[in-house]
A and B are shown apart, each in its own frame.
Chain A
Amino acid sequence: MLRLLSLALFVGVWLIGAKLAGGQMLPSPGAVLTAIVTEARSGTLFVALGATLVRVVLSFSLAMVAGTALGLLMGRAPWADAIGDPWLVVTLNLPALVIIVLAYVWGGLTESAAIAAVAINKLPNTIVTVREGARSLDPTLDEMAQVFAMSRGVVFRDVILPQLYPYLAAAARSGLSLVWKIVLVAELLGRPNGVGFEIGTAFQLFDVARILAYALVFVAVMLLIETALVQPLERRASRWRVRVA
């Protein structure tokens, strides 16, 4: 209820703002809605959304898989942590823009350069979170697995992974929102399609309604992914906890 009220307030402030600033600077909600419909009718909206989503999914998966492997290694092996930590500090503090520009310079204005750049941006964040999880693994369960001579596969799937779920969920959550924001920048700088590219074009024409149209639709799609995909997965992973309560 309070959420709905808050949303209504947001639209209200927007309406007043649009009145004060004028349609050129801040189009009214209605004007933005019209822009969304126009873009959807022409099909550009869906093409752009599709291209961007593919990039988000690919770079996100890449960062999660590589980040989990590296984070686990660094959390478990002190030598790996000693080697990896300085790299981590550097990449964590490297601006996303620098990584994207360098990727395009070295890899050309290609799809793989764009995806790699976004994945590298997200990677250190995943590593740090998973490393934290790996450090908090229960040593008594490790010993149990060792005494019962459990295979590596079983140890990973049934002993380690369930302990990492909360950390993986945290990494996925912050990762998804980070990745899509960076994908838009990568598209603006070097891709011929996608939401970032469309926003770039609209910016050159000072078409604020179109900018807001793309932004709103994309935020909605990401929210949908979050509630329809990430949250159910989180609940599934903590099923055993829920039953206890």
Chain B
Amino acid sequence: MLCDIAFTLAAGDVAAFVGPSGCGKTTMLRILAGLDRAFEGAINGAAPGRIGMVFQEPRLLPWRTAEANVRLAAPGASETKLAELFSILELAPYRTHYPGELSLGLARRVALARAFAVDPALLILDEPFVSLDQALAARLRAELATLVDRRHVTTILVTHDVEDAVWLADRIFLLAGRPAGIVAELTVPGRRGERSAAQIATMRQKIAALAAPRVAVAP
């Protein structure tokens, strides 16, 4: 599925892995999160610690309220911190709601709050905006950018959408081929959350130009 994936992140880096669906992005995240142990290679962490993860689906406990879902994952989180998270993610009115009563967008926010509440040394995001409508995805991206900046947390984001990557990441790794490998690495100019439409369009073209021929000649 995957081969020759090698990269190093500095603390506080936000790295995005972009590639077509089915190229093994999720597998890579599962290995990083310790869910998949059937791999060859090594993961070295200078600062190993807690992992906060947002799965493709919210994966909330349906029988616990939004707040309880966050608290169960982060028993040590203070009330102040939870209140701040809920306010940034616009979840304050939904604390006592059960996941079944929440829309997908809101459930995603709860999953984000849960991942940040544990004060992660590494934040792993697996397609956090998939199957949300454009406007909602844009809002959630902005909220996520705020949180990532405030917390200065090392983040690995996996997405098939160049837009997500350009919005949030400092560095972008392009994945392609079968088995997939890293085919290009880019640095995104400008400050997160303040990138102009023109900057994003340029990056998008660059990535398209890089990705297309590589995919075609991939073994």
A, B assembled together: yes
Residues on A lying within 8 angstroms of B by beta carbon are 140-141, 143-144, 146-150, 154, 158-159, 162, 240-241, 243-244
Q: List 12 A-B contacts (CB under 8 A).
A: A141-B61, A143-B55, A143-B59, A144-B59, A147-B35, A148-B74, A149-B50, A162-B61, A240-B63, A240-B64, A241-B100, A244-B100
Distance in angstroms from A138 CB to nearest chain B CB is 9
| C-alpha gap A154/B75 in the complex (Å) | 10
A146: which of B35, B62, B74 is its contact (CB, 8 Å)?
B35
Check if B59 sits within 8 Å of A243, measured CB to CB.
Answer: no
- Closest residue of chain A to B114 (Cβ to Cβ) is A148
Contact partners of A244 in chain B: CB under 8 A: 98, 100-101
**18-76 of chain B: CB within 8 A of chain A:** 33-35, 50-53, 55, 57, 59, 61-64, 68, 72-75
Contact partners of B68 in chain A: CB under 8 A: 158
Distance in angstroms from B161 CB to nearest chain A CB is 22
Determine whether B118 belongs to the interface, using a CB cutoff of 8 Å to chain A. Answer: yes
| C-alpha gap A240/B51 in the complex (Å) | 28
Distance in angstroms from B71 CB to nearest chain A CB is 10
B64: which of A140, A143, A146, A158 is its contact (CB, 8 Å)?
A158
CB-defined interface of B108-136 with A at 8 Å, one 1/0 digit per residue?
00000010001000000000000000000
- Closest residue of chain A to B124 (Cβ to Cβ) is A147
A150: which of B62, B73, B101 is its contact (CB, 8 Å)?
B73
Q: Is the interface of B mostly helix, strand, loop or mixed?
A: loop
Q: How large is the interface on B (under 10, 10 to 19, 20 to 34, 35 or more residues)?
A: 20 to 34
Residues on B lying within 8 angstroms of A by beta carbon are 33-35, 50-53, 55, 57, 59, 61-64, 68, 72-75, 98, 100-101, 114, 118
- Closest residue of chain B to A165 (Cβ to Cβ) is B63
| C-alpha gap A141/B72 in the complex (Å) | 13
| C-alpha gap A150/B34 in the complex (Å) | 14
- Check A140/B57 contact, CB under 8 A, given A147-B35, A154-B72: yes
Distance in angstroms from B119 CB to nearest chain A CB is 12
Check if B57 sits within 8 Å of A158, measured CB to CB.
Answer: no
| C-alpha gap A243/B33 in the complex (Å) | 34
- Check A158/B101 contact, CB under 8 A, given A140-B55, A144-B55, A146-B34: no
Distance in angstroms from A133 CB to nearest chain B CB is 14
